[in-house]
Structure 1
Amino acid sequence: MKYTPHTRAVRFLSGLFYFFSIFIFINAFNFQHNPPGAWRQQHVLPIGSRGISDITFVDSLTGFAVTPYIANDTAFIVKTTDGGETWFESLKGPTNTIGGFSRIMFLDVNTGYACRNFLWKTTNSGQTWFNVNTSGIFPENMFVLNEDTIWLTDTEGLTGGVFRTTNGGTSWVRQLSLGSFNPNTIHMLNGKIGFVSRSNSSISIQNIRKTTNSGESWFLVSNLGDDFTSMYFSDSLNGWKAGWQRIMYSVDGGIVWSMQILPSGGNIEYNPIFKISSVGSDSLWGVGGVAVFGPSSIARGILYFTSNGGNNWSYQLPDTSIRIGQYFLLDFVGRSKGWAYSNFRPTGIHTTTGGDTTFTSVRQISDILPGDFILHQNYPNPFNGSTKIRFEINHGGTVSIGIFDITGKKLVELVNKQFTSGQYEVDYTTNENSSGVYFYSLSVDGIVLDTKKMIVLK
């Protein structure tokens, strides 16, 4: 485009309008409550300042939440019957006898299970709970198919593994043992097909395993099998998994996984995805991302949403008076009623109408001045084919973005031109580079300011 005094004036006025729009939005975001029907703040008062390790809703009114294990502390199962507006104790006791909790699941409004070190069951909607025999298993996670068939994971190296009962806990059979790599995450599609992984482990090898014969045998998935924290299958072939850094999709029953692109750019500082919840065969929600606003870099948790199976993901910025920096827990009942909660403190949000306005990713990102020269981590990373690199500069200059191999040889110069202050994003696409470690650097006026590592994985 040819720049004239007229076009420069238009760009200046557009930028000025955009700046004030952002300013107004941030102030509204920080100080105003949502109107009724969007996202509303909720608090789980009975558990004090404790965090929440899991949450589930049976219907639009009835839900349960659990607190994690903390040594010498009190563990809670709490219940709501008004959609999360108020909560009351369902089970309470010291962690050395209760065990704390990492997971809670309900089969219906009356029958539910909670676990960590012990397995607890209720048959009267949480009025009373009792221990289910686990024969020396100390469950980290569980998946309940019905009252007879229950799966447990135990991460203890010698006696742990993946266990199954088909008689409600009378007896258990160990279906998989991996020693120090014993799984802590499990998802079963049905009685025969399921997945396990060692989520959030330090190992970098493939670590998702699948069974198609009720755990009699397991095999590693064929690609990008890092781990999963949450999984959903709409049928026996089409499924999604959330890992610590990405959302992936499979069309062949979980053998091969392909990465889907989450929104990035703009105010989005960090975009992992920890938990997904389905509201239909192609509609899913996710939580984990963080957006940053204002000169004080105030963090706000964001929610992801797709209505077409992940071909396009958008996001929402819940407008609440309490600043929740990140959401870890999520559950939806139908398309419009959902909850997203922090796991660090007993607070979250609730919608009855599907939330707020959704937004997509931003390319020209901001006219607000960054506080320094910043080179962000590329996303996705690792990547195969294409990735995005975002950078910020606090004054104008000649900006260069270079790509280097592991020996320091420059492979390509993505950018080498004048930029004004602001935040920008460039795409890097390559089909020539083999799998391995590469580097990219930010230089302004000939001075190298930062260098980061990225990984090509084919």
Structure 2
Amino acid sequence: MGADTYFHTYPALEVDASNNVAITYTRSGTSEYAGAYYTSKPSDVTSLTGSKLLKAGNGYYYKTFGGSRNRWGDYNGAWLDPANTNRIYLLTEFVASTNTWGSWIGELTFSTTAAYTLVTAPNGGENWQIASTKNVTWNSSNVANVKIEYSTNNGTAWLPVVQSIPASSGSYAWVIPNTPSTQCLVRISDAANSSIIDVSNAPFTISASGQVLNWAAVTSGTTGDIWGIDIVDDNVIWISAANGDVRRSTDGGNTWLSAGNPGNGAYAVAGIDANTAVVATGPTSGNGSIFRTTNGGTSWTNVYTATGAWFNFVDNFDANTLWAQSDPTDGSFHIVKSTNGGATWALTSNRPVAPASTVYGANSSFYRIGNTCWFGTGGASGSTLANRVYKSTNGADGPWTFASTAQQFTGSLAFSTATGAGLVGYWQATNTLGKSTDGGATFTAQATTIGLVKGLEYVRNTPITYAAGDNGLFVSLDNGATWTADLTPTGTASMLSVRFNESGTVGFAGGAGGVLLKNIVPPVVPVEFTAFNASVANGKVMLDWSTATESNNQGFEVQRKLVESEDAQFTTIAFKPGAGTTTHAQNYNFTDDLSDFQATSVAYRLKQIDFDGRYAYSQEILIDNIAPDKFELAQNYPNPFNPITSINYQLPVSGNVTLTVYDALGKQVATLVNEFKNGGRYSVEFDGSKLSSGIYFYELRSGNFASVKKLVLMK
């Protein structure tokens, strides 16, 4: 602040709301009269900025007032503007003329950069997959901690990611939750001031299990158009093609073995095990047949022929029970059934009568969930009477009901549940699907932009649907309302069929010219979360969460982790029963009383459990510095101490806080805290190394609360 020949007298100090420091004083020297000066330390620097002249002295001052010593001015001061705590007033004395003091008064406002947060990732266009870890990044200024949230509906509602983390970190490793959507945004705000906020510039995508980028081409070994796909288990898969080729895999679809060629038009296949399968054909002759192999395709046996009919599908309920359907031959739809693994077949009873002009549906126009079966039909060109979807809840034996569809020629079917969402594709209507919300009892038109659809598949018990068609593969996350093109290898534009296993973990898609794609994805969580929030009051944490749909949901374990160390683990503290299967929104809540806990940070998550034992975790919620239910100033420890002791205190609400130390005469000897604090628990150290032994007092003040305790320094 100056050379040794300067004298700095009667300094006054003040700190503004942004932690900028100002010190004013009178300065004189061997070559200057006593003048008014100040120095400062902005909050973003580490040292004083040097003496700055406010008013120069105009003469010497020497007055003893009858004594033997010269009296200097001692009326300097600094204080905050009550109306603006970022403005400091300074009052400083200087020599106005010989032996006459003057006072300079003025204001000092530090130039500061406006507080802000700026999201830098995700910022639009990203595709982040469920269960992967991605970095949310940001820039900020004059913000201590940030709160991160995300939206799955373009900002209509927001879900928590983390309640508060240091803004200076600039990055947060986010485990992507199971909330698939193409309309996602991230919002980052000042944890203490929600008006300081920024949002992703454009939506990004959270990929549902299996959505996008997971398809890879595998060599099928055929050049025929692949219509038939049957996934027996994780290892055994059968496929069949229009040219009659049949292929099988015993290693999960990585390699394919020839399984012969039982006949032209092998549009459907049902696999029993690695060696046994049944193929239904629709040859150009019109005499559809069912062929069976028990030796992996080395030989095939014709076990049934429907004269004048074209088989469209074959399917197995289990290793013994199978069914198949062909065009009507006797006025009723030709539905046959086997109860001995496909060795013999017979017509079923209760076969529905076929309307006039029925031409049935297209290849593989059927779907089954358990004993609930559907098949689609279509009429000749210009006929609408036969455009129907038939349904049985008693397997192939019926009875059958039907629902009319609005478009010509039902070509593909898929359902999420037996009584819930379903879709129908039409071979003679582009950019149009039929949509059902009641298990196929009724259908309404659903406009699309994906062209002509040849194959449909639901990931069971979810709103996730795949469509195979002339324009490639598409995926919908909302029961077919909106669609996104899947990224597939070059040359896979014309797709015909798509199938997933029941758990939704393995999928295959067949296309023209022998194209075969494989997609391995993580399991789908059968609960669609719309919110998971936490709030804190009086030492209690209130958790609430909501779901849009649930399927097979037994319930939720509420899990808590006291964040005391890096190896802290989640423990289950409660269980909330779920709603089973429902398409109605559900709301849940739980209150965790932490008044007896001393942890300053607590994390929560939900473990959603199915009735079949499958489970998945929600995103985590972190709560920092949980507010207690009352003010408290603890006794320092150790006490007596030498020279350092710790003082703990807690605040139930946020506010301005001072923690001050006084000597036995009431003179202030240290200020340990003088700032705004959020509600929570705090600890501060007091260093008495520069004080003499004795009794001291420390006082905590916040709002209307005040508490004083005694401490003893013994050296």
TM-score relative to the length of structure 2: 0.36
Instruction: Please tell me whether the aligned partners of residues 111 and 122 of structure 1 are also in contact (alpha carbons under 8 angstroms).
Output: yes
Q: CA deviation at 1:119?
A: 0.8
* Residue 309 of structure 1 pairs with residue 486 of structure 2: no
Aligned counterpart, 2:317: 145
SS at the partner of 2:495?
coil
Q: CA deviation at 1:115?
A: 0.6
Instruction: Please tell me whether the aligned partners of residues 242 and 274 of structure 1 are also in contact (alpha carbons under 8 angstroms).
Output: no
SS at the partner of 1:243?
strand
Q: 1:208 aligns with which of 385, 388, 406?
A: 388
Root mean square deviation, CA, Å: 3.6
Instruction: Please tell me whether the aligned partners of residues 138 and 154 of structure 1 are also in contact (alpha carbons under 8 angstroms).
Output: yes
Instruction: Please tell me whether the aligned partners of residues 280 and 311 of structure 2 are also in contact (alpha carbons under 8 angstroms).
Output: yes
* Residue 52 of structure 1 pairs with residue 234 of structure 2: no
**Normalized per residue, which structure has more helix?**
1
**Same amino acid, percent of matched pairs:** 18
Matches within 5 A, 1:386-397: none
Q: 1:251-306: per-residue Cα shift (whole Å, max 9, x none)?
A: 223121134454x4xxxxx523221223231122222152xxxxxxxxxx3x2223
Matches within 5 A, 1:49-198: 49-69=223-243, 75-92=244-261, 98-109=263-274, 111-116=276-281, 117-123=288-294, 126=297, 128-134=299-305, 136=307, 138-141=309-312, 142-146=314-318, 149-155=321-327, 161-165=333-337, 167-168=339-340, 169-173=344-348, 175-178=351-354, 180-184=357-361, 185-189=365-369, 191=371, 194-198=374-378
SS at the partner of 1:53?
strand
The 3 A distance-change label for structure 1 pair 330 and 148 is same
SS at the partner of 1:249?
strand
Q: In structure 2, what is the Cα distance between the partners aligned to 1:164 and 1:256?
A: 26
Instruction: Please tell me whether the aligned partners of residues 232 and 276 of structure 1 are also in contact (alpha carbons under 8 angstroms).
Output: yes
Q: CA deviation at 1:310?
A: 3.4
Q: CA deviation at 1:208?
A: 0.9
The 3 A distance-change label for structure 1 pair 347 and 308 is same
Quick one: which amino acid aligns to residue 77 of structure 1? V
* Residue 228 of structure 1 pairs with residue 399 of structure 2: no
The 3 A distance-change label for structure 1 pair 275 and 181 is same
**Normalized per residue, which structure has more strand?**
2
> Which structure 1 segments of 5+ residues have no match?
1-17, 19-36, 70-74, 265-269, 291-300, 355-458
> Which structure 2 segments of 5+ residues have no match?
1-124, 126-212, 282-287, 523-715
Q: In structure 2, what is the Cα distance between the partners aligned to 1:347 and 1:194?
A: 27
Q: 2:469 aligns with which of 288, 294, 298?
A: 288
Q: In structure 1, what is the Cα distance between the partners aligned to 2:468 and 2:456?
A: 7
Equivalences, count: 288
The 3 A distance-change label for structure 1 pair 257 and 39 is same
Quick one: which amino acid aligns to residue 385 of structure 2? I
Q: 2:499 aligns with which of 326, 331, 351?
A: 331
SS at the partner of 1:113?
strand
The 3 A distance-change label for structure 1 pair 194 and 287 is closer
Q: In structure 2, what is the Cα distance between the partners aligned to 1:80 and 1:255?
A: 37
Q: CA deviation at 1:114?
A: 0.9
Relative contact order (C-alpha < 8 Å, sep 6+): which is higher?
1
SS at the partner of 1:328?
strand
Aligned counterpart, 2:660: none
